[in-house]
Amino acid sequence: MSRRAMIGLCGAVLVLNGCTNGALAGRPERRRYARSKIKALVANEAANLGVSVPLALAVAHAESYFDAQAESSAGARGVMQIMPATALGEYGIEPDLLWDPRINVRLGLHFLGRLLRRYRGRVDLALSYYNGGSAVGRLPNARVIPATYKYVVRVQRLEKQYRRQLARQVI
């Protein structure tokens, strides 16, 4: 399947799965969500997409502290801090839909899963790309982008913390 066809299919799947919650009719309602609900959403989506739950929670924590309305100075939006250009270019999803936490989390975790597969499970490289973009390069010459090093270390530390909490059932 071509890349363009896959992008369209991903967008269609999101819509068919009901992720838009009526948001296609206009700008989605921007409202606050309890962090506990966002954590549960992240954990469920990660499990459904085959992404490590502790890693998914760590990325969401580092990116937005589970805030569905977070917006970076660069314009990244939502729980997983997705750039509008990435949502539109990679998935065919309109930028305003990034305020819907279900869409945002699903896109962010799908993208993270894709990066983990691209880098053959190298979490450090996937995180560096997620945070800093394509300067990571391709295997076998891929390297963590120096500007993302602190982010990668922080997410890996948070991942260990969430792994311990999940083992004790304290989330």
Catalytic residue positions?
Answer: 63
143, 137 in Cβ contact below 8 A?
A: yes
Q: Are 151 and 129 in contact (CB under 8 A)?
A: no
Closest CA to 55 of 68, 64, 42: 42
CB 114 within 8 A of CB 126: no
What DSSP string runs through 48-68?
HHT--HHHHHHHHHHHHSS-T
Distance between CA atoms of 2 and 123, rounded to whole angstroms?
27
The reply to whether omega before 28 is within 30° of 0 (cis) is: no
In whole angstroms, give the CA distance from residue 107 to residue 12.
13
